[in-house]
Amino acid sequence: MFVNSKSEKLKESPDSLRPQGWDNYIGQERIKKHLRIIIEAAKRRNETPDHILFYGPPGLGKTTISHIIAQETGSNLRSTTGPVIEKSGDLVALLTNLNEGDILFIDECHRINRFVEEYLYSAMEDFKINLILGKGPMAKTIDIKIPHFTLIGATTRIDMISSPLRSRFGSILQLNYYSQEEIERIIERSAQILGIKITKEAKSQIAKRSRFTPRIANKLLKRVRDFSQVEDDEESIDEKIAVKALEFLEVDNLGLEPSDRKIIETIINKFNGGPAGLQALSAATSEEKNAILEIYEPYLMQMGLIKRTNKGRAATKLAYEHLNLKWKNKEG
C-alpha cells in the first residue's frame, strides 16, 4: 500500500523539510513540553525566554527546534557558529546588532574561543558587555548595554563546554535518538512534501537504516528516490527498490556505512578486538579524532557494537556477529 502524496511537488530547499511548528515536529516529546512551558511563561511575564543549551549527536533537530522557538515567540533568529567567532570584536558586533527579543543561535558553541567566550558571561546575565580599553594603568572599563535576547547554544560535545558558560544557561536539554516509529512518521511526512509515492515496507527499510536520525532518514529518502528514477525508471518506491538502492549506497541493515564498518574492523583486526586508544584508532583508520568522537562512536555505542573501557574502544560480541566473524571471548 502506498502512502498518499501531494499532487504538486514543492521546490526543494534546505528548509523544505524543516517543521515550522510543534504540531508537525515529530519526536522529542519531553523537550517539546519543557520548551512550551518556558515560552508560555516568558510570554505571560512579557520577558524573553531564558537561555537554552541543546546537546546531542548531529542531525537530531537542534537547529530545527531553535527555528520553531523563534516562530513561537515571534522573534528574529540570528544564526552563527562557534568557529566563526574568532575575535572579541566578532562577538561584540553580533551582540550590539541584536534587537530587543531576538534569538541568537550559536551552533558548535563548544568551539568558541575561550577568551572571546568571557564576553558572553555579562551579556547573558546582565545584558551588557564589559569592554576594556587600553592596557596597564591607563586601561579603563566601559559597559555597553545590549537588548534583552535569548541565546540558544547547540553542541555535540557537552563535555567541552566550560563550566562558567554552561552555568549561565537556564535550561540544558539533551536530544536523544528517535524511535523506529518516529522515523517512519518523519519519512512519511517528507515523502508527502516531496511528492514521493512510497510503500510502508519501503518506509520501514529506510527507517531501519537511518541511525534513528531525521537528517539521515531524509537524506536516504532522497537518494533512494534518485536511484528509483534513474536506475529503475520508477516514480514510486517499494521495498524491493528501497533495498536495492540502500545496498548500492552501501548502507547495511543496521545503518552502518563503510566508514563505520572500517572502524569496527580495525578494532577487531589490528587491535585484536580492542581496547584501542582514540589516537591509535584515528591513525589506523585515517579518520579524524573528532569525527570518531562526534559522528561514528555515539551510534556504534548506541547499537552496542563497541564499548569504551579505561584503555580505549573495544568491539563487542554483537560487532563480531554483525560482520560474520568468530567471537574472541577474552574473558575465557
| Measured distance CA(29)–CA(24) in Å, rounded | 12
Of the listed 48, 63, 150, 213, which one is catalytic?
63
Of the listed 208, 211, 215, 225, which one is catalytic?
215
Q: What is the DSSP string of 281-321?
A: HHHHHT--HHHIIIIIHHHHHHTTSEEEETTEEEE-HHHHH
Q: Quick one: how far is CA 58 from the chain centroid?
A: 2
Neighbour tally for 140: CB within 10 Å: 8
Which spans in 108-213 are helix H?
114-126, 163-166, 180-194, 200-208
Angle, alpha carbons 323-176-273 (nearest 5°): 25
166 tagged catalytic: no
Instruction: Specify the amino acid at residue 97.
Output: N
Of the listed 107, 168, 261, 266, which one is catalytic?
107
| Measured distance CA(37)–CA(131) in Å, rounded | 35
63 tagged catalytic: yes
The residue among 247, 252, 256 whose CA lies nearest residue 300 is 256
157 tagged catalytic: no
107 tagged catalytic: yes
CB-CB contact of 105 with 154 (8 Å): yes
| Measured distance CA(107)–CA(59) in Å, rounded | 12
Of the listed 156, 266, 285, 316, which one is catalytic?
156
312's grid cell: 580505549
240 tagged catalytic: no
Active site residues: 62-63, 107, 156, 215
